[in-house]
Structure 1
Amino acid sequence: MMKKSFNIFMSLILLFTLAGCSSSNTESAPKTRIVKDYSYQKKADKLAKKNKRLKSDIKELQNKITQNQNYLSENDQETFSNNSSDTSKDNLSNLDYTGSQEIVVNNNQPEFSDDDLSTAKGAWQTYGDLDNLNRPTVANALLNTSLMPSAKRERLNWTPTGWHNKKIGSGWLYNRSHLIGYQLTGQNNNPKNLITGTRSLNSPEMQVHEMDVAYYLKKSNSHFIRYRVTPIFRNDELLARGVQMEAQSIGDNSVHFNVYIFNVESGVTLNYNDGTSQIG
């Protein structure tokens, strides 16, 4: 009897202990949730403040952009016009270099007719006659790998108009610049295809486009590109102000450009009348 009472007493103690533990766990859960909710709310408030500051910064920047556009000076407007993609072909000879050696012409659309893009006659190349001042006029081609040379280029000996070469810090000031690069057609000592061009006009400016053209042509013997390079002279000057380069791949738009590149050299003042120059 005594043993049975003792067992009952121990059972009651165990039940009260378990009940106490359960009560303790139940009470601690809400506290944990409260702490977590408070932490999340702090993060949300912080993000909201940051978002508000960003909106304010964006609005301030937009206002500054509007102010700059409204107060653009006449000189800045002229510079913007010279470098815009709406530069007309007929106006190229009147443009002056303003810091960008290459600008886009006619929204980068080459001005070829449907007949110009025909491949019915296969690959070909033609060069306009020299004008009355012995200056090249234009070089046209429908390029294909069949026109590319296999022989190494020989030394150039033709002297184009405006040729007054001299050494500057980076090397020779001028190159005998091909209108259509030798690697594309194999034309070398052709007076109709050579102008006096600065080192930077020849490379990298013109060469970058020529390499793009060559890369596309070499990808397939069936690839064709309509190509035209026009030297731009002002009045009777003997040194070209720049060159216009136009290209359009046939059947796709992989190669597509119409650009004007100024014939200039950093740190050198050129006399376009005869090609003489002054450093500095």
Structure 2
Amino acid sequence: MSTKNKRKKSSPIQYIIGLVVCIILVVAGVKSPDALLDFLPFDNKESSPKTSDTIKKDNPGPIEHGKSRFTANELRDSSKGWVEYGRLDKLGRPTTANALIKPNMINTGTSANQSIRPPGFISGLEPHNHSRGHLIGRQLGGTGDKLENLVTLYQNPVNTPFMTKYENLVRKAADEGETIRYRVEPVYNGNEDMPIAVDIEGKGLSKQSTIDFYVTIENKQ
């Protein structure tokens, strides 16, 4: 057999040198797997998968459906803002929350009461990453002292930054003097305790308002 066709085996010293080079590159900030592989004494480098092929996001982010679905009757203004929470269902799960948000309601809500454990809640620590998620956010006047307004959400990225993004839009409009009709509904799969998603709708009542959205945020890590 010709020696040209034999694969040259790497010595232990070559492996150690390659490992040291990799550590140096990582410390120096080189993050490309291909760049690290170039310094390894392996013959078959293609067998190592690329990062872009193996790491995928489970949560696609907010799914935008277009404009809100409020009826004309639901958009009637009133002299005062209000927040209403739907009844718990037969499994003790929150069902819906509606609000008419006015400027004087901003930051009048309360933080989630730590003694309340929404259905499905285990812990905010890893690996659970759970939060007592407000349907009507605290900054929009939602209470954290009623189970009817708290569901178990993944803190990241569902509660923040995804839900926070739309709450901030509504808050900004209210800070500028607008009145906004707002609704949040958890979506459940059968008898599961945690919602699989939340639907959020908002619409400003002034003709100049830019607030008019209907989005679904999947409750995934």
Structure-2-length-normalised TM-score: 0.68
Q: Which residue of 1 aligns with 2:174?
A: 217
Aligned CA distance change for structure 1 residues 154 and 103 (closer, same or farther; 3 Å): closer
Classify 1:151/1:162 alpha carbon distance in 2 versus 1 (closer, same or farther; 3 Å).
closer
Is 2:100 the counterpart of 1:142?
A: yes
User: 5+ unaligned residues in a row in structure 1: which ranges?
Assistant: 1-96, 266-280
Aligned to 1:60: none
Q: CA RMSD in A?
A: 2.1
- Distance in 2 between residues matched to 1:98 and 1:127, nearest whole Å: 30
Aligned letter for 2:136? I
Equivalent pair of 2:109/2:141 in contact (CA under 8 Å) = no
Please report how far the alpha carbon of residue 154 of structure 1 lies from its aligned counterpart in structure 2 after TM superposition: 6.7
Q: Which residue of 2 aligns with 1:114?
A: 72
State the one-letter code of the partner of 1:264: K
Aligned equivalent of 1:274: none
1:236 aligns with 2:158: no
Mark the CA change 1:99 to 1:144 in structure 2 (over 3 Å): closer, same or farther. same
Match of 1:251 in 2: 206
Q: Does 1:261 align with 2:217?
A: yes
Task: Specify whether residues 192 and 246 from structure 1 end up closer, same or farther in structure 2 by C-alpha distance, changes over 3 A only.
Answer: same
Structure 2 gaps of 5+ residues are 1-56
For the residue of structure 2 that corresponds to 1:116, the secondary structure is helix
Partner Cα distance (2:123, 2:149) in 1: 19
Per-residue CA distance 1:178-213 (angstroms, 9 max, x = gap): 001011014111110000000111000000110111
Q: Work out the CA distance in 2 between the residues paired with 1:150 and 1:133.
A: 30
Identity rate of aligned residues, in percent? 29
| CA deviation vs aligned residue, 1:59-86 (integer Å, no higher than 9, x gap) | xxxxxxxxxxxxxxxxxxxxxxxxxxxx
Aligned length: 163
Counterpart of 2:73 in 1: which secondary structure?
Answer: coil
Q: 1:100 maps to which residue?
A: 60
Which residue, out of 180, 192, 208, partners 2:136? 180
1:230, CA displacement in angstroms? 0.1
1:45 corresponds in structure 2 to none
Quote the residue 2:149 is aligned against: 193
Give the number of the structure whose alpha-carbon radius of gyration is greater.
1
Contact 1:174 1:197 in 2 (8 A): yes
For residues 104-153 of structure 1, give each alpha carbon's deviation from its aligned partner in whole angstroms, at most 9, with x where no partner exists. 22xx1211011111113531111100000000000001111222345874
Per the TM alignment, residue 101 of structure 1 is displaced from its structure 2 partner at its CA by 2.5
Moved beyond 6 Å, runs of 4+: none
Aligned 1:38-77 pairs, distance under 5 A: none
State TM-score, norm by structure 1: 0.54
Return the alpha-carbon distance in structure 2 between the equivalents of residues 216 and 110 of structure 1: 16
CA offset at residue 251 of structure 1? 1.5
Pair 185,166 (structure 1): closer, same or farther in 2 beyond 3 Å: closer
**Structure with bigger RCO (C-alpha 8 Å, 6+ apart):** 2
Separation (CA, whole Å) in 1 of partners of 2:109 and 2:206: 30
* Partner SS state of residue 162, structure 2: helix
Partner residue in 1 for 2:50: none
Alpha-carbon distance between aligned partners in 1 of 2:173 and 2:63, rounded to the nearest angstrom: 23
3-state DSSP class of the match of 2:166? helix
